[in-house]
């Protein structure tokens, strides 16, 4: 469902409704600053960073 946000300004409180958005609603909002490298490349990068993080955590 929908949500609300409480905003307090000086001596009053304002309830602002927030509509739930789907991922489709965000399409095109942010400009693409670089081309998408592909899923395999993204998976390799995530694997590399996660491995590095886990190894650093293990050596502490």
Task: Give the pLDDT confidence score for residue 32 in this predicted structure.
Answer: 87
Give the Cα separation of 29 and 33 in Å (integer).
12
What are the pLDDT tens digits along the chain (60 aa)?
578 999 999 999 999 998 888 888 888 888 889 999 999 999 999 999 999 999 998 887
pLDDT at 1: 58
């Amino acid at each position: 469902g929908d949500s609300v946000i409480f905003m307090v300004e000086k001596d009053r409180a304002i309830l602002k409704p927030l509509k739930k958005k789907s991922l489709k609603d965000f399409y095109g909002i942010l400009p693409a600053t670089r081309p998408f490298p592909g899923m395999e490349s993204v998976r390799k990068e995530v694997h590399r960073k996660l491995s590095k993080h886990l190894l650093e955590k293990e050596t502490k």
